[in-house]
Structure 1
């Protein structure tokens, strides 16, 4: 009989079964250290090395540790206590990093939201987490977050404090929370360290609990897989509140190796390229829609990018054509990263052959990552066939935060997380992502992976960016629509169909329609927003 899944704790964490937890500790994946104690260890080991470059400021490991202590004392003085949730909505600025460690020292739990979130998402997350404090910038990208905070106070009954990085207006300046360090009780490494916001484009966001010990392993193992060292200079140009830029290996992984993190205000080439040149950046990460923009900018931008060794691509599938173009255009290696804020990470190795790097999404990070690939009935598929990826392991959650109803379907009774990703596994262990269970187009009785169609679409020389979506069709259920951002003269529908057929794509997967747009709508983390795209196309040209 399958053992019952552990019940969630009062903290909202669904724990790993006791025997599994013992195994992970014995294997050294969980080392009993908290994020706050990790920073103290790095300060002792790396001392005056530069940990963080943010704007005009350069902080050593020792200074970062000291500031985290002082901010923790200031937060305690405001009444923020161990276990309290704190809603954090900061862009890529130095106070984000200091605050993260200050809350870890205090045993409070940051809820890491994205700058693009607005009252719908923020209100939901505040109520779900019962956050007692909300940390914002004054203004960012032309938006005044103090107005958002005023609206949130009317919707979130538990919210007591609004702390502002910058001019506080009617609220409290974060900079004023500076106190003499206090003796603070060390949190339990098995407790929740932070709450990440789930990705995707459907439904309200869910919260992903990550413990000190599992997230520490996530960052540490990722740093090893990516070859980080004290010479590493990591450019964080994606939002650092996102798992990819925070710990894959991101900010935290760079710190484990004694390297330097450079914060960029945005991933735009105009912001990132000067920082790569000035700070001699060695590694950075982008979502695939941004990579062609960098390749185009590199043709005319005079910035010296010769220090860049690795460009990570993750968040959605990178087309093989774009992956093959990166070394020639940017002079660096591509590393494909397929993972999820819920846990599992896969990386291509830096020494994989070029075709493996271009055409696969890597191998699992940990020897104890347990993967199953199943059909629609939950039965394991034949090796090499496409199915839904199920996973459990030492850094993959066992349940979303306070989401019992959703957890009943998102996890199997024996603890596997049902990722919703369609994959196949090669004999080498590398995964190829074929799409999403729900990102399919049901056309005439055939289920078509949107990502498969998109890979062929993006190979056309007249297509700079593109997406495949399903639109309602009375005769076939859905019709397949190709939405393209042109790269020159866009193809006609007939030209595109001939091109795709010439690449060996089955006739039933060919587009029924083509629509041209200036830009594709994206989610806050840079993924193509399929729901918004369907609305956009439906409004301008009824199916």
Structure 2
């Protein structure tokens, strides 16, 4: 039976909370591919996206996505297929995503920094049919890695390459003949994002067309994006933050212009801000600090920059205070997760709220509970683990039934693992994490992933990794090891070389090494990690003075 909502007719069956969210007007029966068509009709000849010397209007972006959709179909992809998409910030990233949305193919968004082991773990979870990579980026040969991955996973039938010299060039797909596009259910899976990776291998986060559209549309309203918004995608676009909070999609939705920065450093970003009159960008705290330090010597004109969103990790108050006087822009704190819930400080908030909190939920439909270790709600003003559910928050990870049993409550609340407290005004302040992980420059490193690898390294008897506060990175990783042979002590370079040989990317490799002969213990006999942090900080300070 068809359901009508706001003049829109629903031809797909819905049940439970998803049906309730549709009937309340939060979810709409429109695919992400349909949204691009709408934007093309509304904003036709306005500039949609800029990438180096290429400039696409909304019409051209729409046409390229359609042509690429035909190409993917002709290459053998079909609705429901998964494709690993591992691209830097570029136009191909955007056109490929919308092409896949139009034919029901599911992009799995991998980070450019991930290497063979990481990609293999994703393949094991989703059995992709294809893999899309650049030829090279920042000196790394992605095609060579992709060929190895393809040979290891029989599900991968096709490699697509964003480039002109390879036989698998994605550009060749643009010359395929038109064909009928399939009818796609907007309430089903559209894309798979990566979780923060608190348990070794990142979980895959299933986002539907309708819930992700609500994600960026409502975000664009809260953040006051408009057709005059010029958004710089500085962070890797595969992250939820720059993709849809409001990010690239939210900017396109209001007819604004997206500027792609291949790298997030100030040397490229500041030049783009000046050239394209950028008004808005999103950063993680360590990157913000680097930008602030760069302003001391950089002479580019970034006066058009009026809003800097900061999220991904908690921003300290002293750094927050520097944004307006040194960058000349407003600060907006963002707290959220690729699994759904988004909190923002509002542009109308008092300065104290913007500096000291991570804002309040984007939607009145977001439900939040703060609970203690026993699952009981904490008293007002006390910190607890944040549990949430809502129209754009997932109800389970992809192909992860056993994990879902512990990551969600029986009534559908997602256990975020974030420890937060609520202020009397209704804003939230992040206090920490339930699970052990290191937030290094916005990239999450699971201790449980790296420690077992190090413990297999012959010179090491036992290892413990702790997070150390760092002015530039936010947190750096320090590994304490006991040696299997006190006459042959491992060096930091030894550990990095070993991990690199296992395919562990640089950001997951330790930043600091400490050799110990015994572990400091708590009163109950557990390793005292607070004591380890203090030792690491003291030793680093001594080395800097010597």
- Place the TM-score, normalised by the shorter chain, in its bin: 0.7 to 0.9
1:106 and 2:106 matched: no
**For residues 31-180 of structure 1, what are the structure 2 equivalents within 5 Å?**
31-169=28-166, 171-178=167-174, 179-180=176-177
SS at 1:230's partner residue?
A: coil
> Size of the alignment, in residue pairs?
462
**For residues 124-273 of structure 1, what are the structure 2 equivalents within 5 Å?**
124-169=121-166, 171-178=167-174, 179-273=176-270
- Residue of structure 1 equivalent to 2:416: 419
Task: Determine if contact 1:481/1:515 at 8 Å carries over to the other structure.
Answer: no
- The 1:288–1:481 alpha-carbon spacing in structure 2 relative to 1, beyond 3 Å, is farther
- The 1:240–1:515 alpha-carbon spacing in structure 2 relative to 1, beyond 3 Å, is farther
1:331 is matched with which residue: 322, 325, 328? 328
Shift of 1:465: 5.6
Q: Give the TM-score normalised by structure 2.
A: 0.81
- Residue of structure 2 equivalent to 1:480: 530
Shift of 1:156: 1.1
Supply the distance in 2 between the matched residues of 1:455 and 1:125 (Cα, whole angstroms). Answer: 26
Shift of 1:186: 2.5
Task: Determine if contact 2:229/2:251 at 8 Å carries over to the other structure.
Answer: yes
Shift of 1:377: 0.3
Task: Determine if contact 1:109/1:194 at 8 Å carries over to the other structure.
Answer: yes
- The 1:20–1:250 alpha-carbon spacing in structure 2 relative to 1, beyond 3 Å, is same
Unaligned runs of 5+ in 2: 1-11, 439-465, 481-518
Task: Determine if contact 1:308/1:332 at 8 Å carries over to the other structure.
Answer: yes
Supply the distance in 1 between the matched residues of 2:224 and 2:243 (Cα, whole angstroms). Answer: 17
**For residues 134-533 of structure 1, what are the structure 2 equivalents within 5 Å?**
134-169=131-166, 171-178=167-174, 179-439=176-436, 467=475, 472-475=519-522, 477-480=527-530, 511=534, 513-515=536-538
SS at 2:319's partner residue?
A: helix
Shift of 1:168: 4.9
Supply the distance in 2 between the matched residues of 1:413 and 1:326 (Cα, whole angstroms). Answer: 42
Task: Determine if contact 1:336/1:348 at 8 Å carries over to the other structure.
Answer: yes
- The 1:16–1:156 alpha-carbon spacing in structure 2 relative to 1, beyond 3 Å, is farther
Shift of 1:286: 0.6
Supply the distance in 2 between the matched residues of 1:466 and 1:40 (Cα, whole angstroms). Answer: 40
Task: Determine if contact 2:207/2:394 at 8 Å carries over to the other structure.
Answer: yes
Task: Determine if contact 1:481/1:514 at 8 Å carries over to the other structure.
Answer: no
SS at 1:321's partner residue?
A: helix
- The 1:348–1:152 alpha-carbon spacing in structure 2 relative to 1, beyond 3 Å, is same
Point out the more displaced range, 268-277 or 191-200: 191-200
SS at 1:424's partner residue?
A: strand
Task: Determine if contact 1:196/1:242 at 8 Å carries over to the other structure.
Answer: yes
Supply the distance in 1 between the matched residues of 2:308 and 2:278 (Cα, whole angstroms). Answer: 11
Unaligned runs of 5+ in 1: 1-14, 442-453, 484-510, 519-536
Shift of 1:173: 0.6
Q: Deviations over 1:4-54 (max 9, x none)?
A: xxxxxxxxxxx9982322221122211111000000000001100000001
- Residue of structure 1 equivalent to 2:442: none
1:29 and 2:26 matched: yes
- The 1:320–1:184 alpha-carbon spacing in structure 2 relative to 1, beyond 3 Å, is same
SS at 1:39's partner residue?
A: helix
